[in-house]
Amino acid sequence: MKNLTLKNFPEYELIDTGEGMRLEKFGQYTIARPDPQILWEKHADEKLWQQADAVFDAHQSGDKWVTRAPLPEHWPVHFQDLTFNARLTPFKHTGIFPEQAVMWEWSQNLIRNAKRKINVLNLFGYTGIASVAAAKAGANVTHLDASKPAITWANENMKASGLPGDSIRWILDDAVKFTRREMTRGNTYDAIIMDPPVYGHGPHNEPWDFYKHVPVLLQQCSKILSKNPLFFLINAYAISASSTMLGNILEDIMSPYDGSIEYGELTLKESQGNRLLSTGIYGRWEARC
């Protein structure tokens, strides 16, 4: 088991955490938002918290962002050769999950060092930063999500990163249905990325349950891997399971191939208190060189 901590993302900062909240900086704006796993006390001075440009306020009458001054609808955030748009969403997210930067770097390095064209499939791709990172490294990328607004946002991120319009293949579909059709069509991928939610719905209201549908999806993904796969990455958030589960899953799927498996937690480190905040779990397989 190996925990990965974000180390080099100049335009993001986890300033402080405590009392069910996290204080963060995305680009030029500082925001405060709830995180139910934060049961400890704040370290930073309360004045620093009060200077946040936006605070996500959770009320019985409805959750909303409260801003100190008008914020733009979206603003750019940069990471190395990538540019993407942050937004204040009704679900307290910004469309950017900074802990994933370690995965963007990892996938880009593998793609660039492969010395061949890599076909990448990103399932549950959301705002598409992982897709943009892979395309920027030279991969052919297929990006799937069940939300049309999310795909539109991902397309904006692709353009903001300076990629041509045909760099990524966009698919609005249910992940299980799509991978089943890809099996029938005989299409294969050298790398698969997935970030399945606990619960959700497809574009035609298809129900999604992590524990029910992930085994089916993974079995189908194993059938659309190329003969020479490069990597397989699974991220998971807010599930009542450990990263060991993801490691065991990958061991089953990738046993026919020569490679190594790593799994653990993704964490962020405070700049004020130096504590670690666990944000999710991951499991990843990569081919042995």
pLDDT of the residue at 208: 79
Q: Where are the beta strands (DSSP E) in the chain?
A: 4-5, 12-18, 21-26, 29-34, 54-57, 64-67, 75-79, 82-86, 119-123, 140-145, 168-172, 191-194, 199-201, 207-209, 231-236, 259-269, 276-287
38 and 116 together in one domain: no
Q: Indicate whether 46 pLDDT > 70.
A: yes
On whether the CB atoms of residues 152 and 193 are closer than 8 A, the answer is no
> CB-based burial of residue 89 (10 Å sphere; 0-12 exposed, 13-18 middle, 19+ buried)?
middle
Per residue in 99-127, pLDDT (tens digit) is: 999 999 999 999 999 999 999 999 999 99
- Inside any domain, residue 80: no
**Beta strands 54-57 and 29-34: pairing type?**
parallel
Q: At what angle do helices 101-113 and 129-136 cross, to 10 degrees?
A: 30
61 and 167 together in one domain: no
Task: Determine the Cα–Cα distance for residues 24 and 36; give it in Å rounded to an integer.
Answer: 16
Q: 3-class DSSP state for residue 57?
A: strand
61 and 99 together in one domain: no
118 and 47 together in one domain: no
Q: Indicate whether 61 pLDDT > 60.
A: no
Query: What integer is the mean pLDDT of 204-229?
Result: 91
The tally of domains found in the chain comes to 2
pTM assigned to the model: 0.95
123 and 216 together in one domain: yes
pLDDT of the residue at 90: 92
238 and 102 together in one domain: yes
The dihedral through the CA atoms of 187, 192, 195, 198 has a sign that is: positive
207 and 268 together in one domain: yes
CATH number of the domain encompassing residue 26? 2.60.40.1180
Q: Indicate whether 155 pLDDT > 60.
A: yes
244 and 209 together in one domain: yes
Work out the end-to-end distance of the chain between its first and last CA atoms, rounded to an integer number of angstroms.
Answer: 21
- Inside any domain, residue 79: no
Per residue in 161-214, pLDDT (tens digit) is: 999 999 999 999 999 999 999 999 999 999 999 999 887 888 888 887 888 889
- Inside any domain, residue 223: yes
Q: Indicate whether 62 pLDDT > 90.
A: no
Mean pLDDT of the chain: 94
**Beta strands 29-34 and 21-26: pairing type?**
antiparallel
131 and 253 together in one domain: yes
Per residue in 131-143, pLDDT (tens digit) is: 999 999 999 999 9
Which residues form the domain of 54?
4-71
152 and 233 together in one domain: yes
Query: What integer is the mean pLDDT of 225-237?
Result: 96
CB atoms within 10 A of CB 175: 27
User: What pLDDT band is residue 217 in, cutting at 50, 70 and 90?
Assistant: very high
- Inside any domain, residue 82: no
pLDDT of the residue at 238: 65
pLDDT of the residue at 1: 86
Q: Indicate whether 24 pLDDT > 60.
A: yes
- Inside any domain, residue 28: yes
Instruction: Find tokens 């709830």 and name the residue.
Output: 34
CATH number of the domain encompassing residue 104? 3.40.50.150
192 and 137 together in one domain: yes
Query: What integer is the mean pLDDT of 260-279?
Result: 95
- Out of 71, 104, 127, pick the residue that ends a domain: 71
Q: Indicate whether 60 pLDDT > 70.
A: no
66 and 110 together in one domain: no
pLDDT of the residue at 289: 78
Q: Hey, what are 66's tokens?
A: 């409260």
